[in-house]
Amino acid sequence: MVIGAGFGGLGAGVALQRAGIDRFAILEASDAVGGTWRDNTYPGCACDIPSHLYSFSFAQNPDWSRSYPAQPEIEAYLERTTDAFGLRRHIRFGAEVTELHWDDGAGEWRIVLGGGEELRAAAVISATGGLSRPSIPDIPGLGSFAGTTFHSARWRHDHDLAGERVGVIGTGASAIQLVPQVAQVAARTTVFQRSAPWVLPRDDRPTPPWRRRLYARAPWLQRLHRWRVYARQELLALAFVGPPRLQRRIAAGIEQAGRAEMAEHIDDPALRARLVPAHQPGCKRLLIANDWYPTLARDDVDLVSEPIVEVVPTGMRTSDGTLHELNTIVLATGFTATEFLAPMRVHGRGGVELTRHWHDGASTHLGVVVSGFPNLFLLVGPGTALGHNSIVFMIEAQLRWAMAALHESRRRGVPLELRPDVERASYAEQQRRVARTVWSSGCASWYRSADGRIDTVWPGTTIEYWWRTRRFDPGVLREVPTGFGGAASAR
């Protein structure tokens, strides 16, 4: 059973087919494939990883129209991939999984859907993604606002912003894409900034038709270009996980480039001062955009850096006592990326709940398997997020490992689970290494959980992750003595 029909779930479907497993189902809560790229349709939504790399290695797309793909193109790519690999017959839409229970006696998973229906499966691949649940800020009075409020991931296309006073909360990846678009139609746009991001130029350009035709006729040339882009992106890892001295050197270069970009578009020294981040580049997500600073320089755009105290029916009040009158509030406040698998409740062997198992940290092995939860495989799980390269690359590496583990389970005829000692060692290593990265340099970010622990990001290069998942070691798993049923099937 596969949960989710975004990049991870669709990749899992192809991997299962290639492994010779045809009895599987992909459960999707929505009515279409696409995951993050189906849900995020705000104006200007695009990817910050180059298009030729942000795709499956087994399903290259020669028709990307730009260097960086926009949301509609990515969603269309996933729709085409679904059909090209015959996955639609395996997908059950409108099937929201609310609970997973491991049945100790039967040796299989019991999957509970939103309507109460129950399914059974010998193995489960969770591909719910880390950017699936919008984070709603806890601001006093937010529900009292008399105007319109919505999250960037739930964009109200039926709501016309023309001539309105629009307040945008947040200055992260979504905000720097949507604010320039909103400012073009709104009467006034007010950006509420908690902390300034480091923003670098985006080398985005149209792909000429001749190049698309060339890649369609000679896929090996596109693959060569893909590896070139991959190598360029991979070098950025040194800014996050390299030796401290090298991190500081690269950070200084990023800071210089960021300040230069800011100075080119912002004349007001006071505004520039508020746009200089207080954290080291990379501690929070590095952002790329060409229209962020020009937009903030507009006369009809205000940047507010004073903290929001409360929301009132007519707008938002900040700590300096100012009431900012608004017609619409857009919450560009990101996602609950540290609440893995939520709101789904997962109960493993002996009825142990996953969040309880993780009360001292989201411990896994390679972010894929958890002790006490047999034949459960996570995609984009704890400790596998990236700050520099394509998450699709990581998904494919995880699927190779998961397919090898599933094959081993089928060969032995029993379910397998991660050994607790391996889990403890893996988590301890991850925490030791992440403490030496830029993400531990002192800022508050979506990488950190509420207790300050960093369980989200991979503290190494993707090359290392590929190498460590390339060869499956059955010794990290142990047998679970139950009446195991066989393939990853729904019945």
Q: Where are the beta strands (DSSP E) in 261-300?
A: 287-288
For the segment 353-411, what is each residue's pLDDT rounded down to a tens digit? 999 999 999 999 999 999 999 999 999 999 999 989 999 999 999 999 999 999 999 99
Q: Which domains does the chain have, with CATH numbers?
A: 2-132+337-479 (3.50.50.60), 142-203+227-331 (3.50.50.60)
Q: How far is CA 93 from the centre of its chain?
A: 22
CA-wise closest residue to 374 among 219, 255, 488: 488
CA-wise closest residue to 8 among 380, 346, 368: 380
State whether residue 110 is helix, strand or coil: strand
135 dihedral zone (left: phi>0; alpha: psi -120 to 50; beta): beta
User: 440 or 317: whose pLDDT is higher?
Assistant: 317
Q: Which amino acid is at 366?
A: L
What does the pLDDT average to over 210-224? 96
For the segment 15-52, what is each residue's pLDDT rounded down to a tens digit? 999 999 999 999 999 999 999 999 999 999 999 999 99
pLDDT band at 450 (very low <50, low <70, confident <90, very high): confident
CA-wise closest residue to 331 among 105, 147, 69: 147
pLDDT band at 482 (very low <50, low <70, confident <90, very high): low
> Is the bond preceding 343 in cis, omega lying within 30 degrees of 0?
yes
Least confident of 362-371, 420-429, 435-444, 451-460: 435-444
CA atoms within 13 A on the CB side of 392: 23
What does the pLDDT average to over 238-257? 87
Q: How far is CA 178 from the centre of its chain?
A: 18
State the helix-helix crossing angle for 7-18 and 391-412, rounded to 10 degrees.
40
pLDDT(53) > 70? yes
Instruction: Write b or e for each residue in 107-128: b if 16 or more Cβ atoms lie within 10 A of its Cβ, otherwise e.
Output: bbbebbbeeeeebebbbbbbbb
Rounded Cα–Cα distance for residues 7 and 444 (Å): 28
Please check whether residue 91 is in contact with residue 81, taking contact to mean a CB–CB distance below 8 angstroms: no
- CB contact set of 294 (below 8 Å; sequence gap of 6+): 180, 265
- The mean predicted confidence, pLDDT, of the chain is 93
Token pair 């299989």: residue: 108
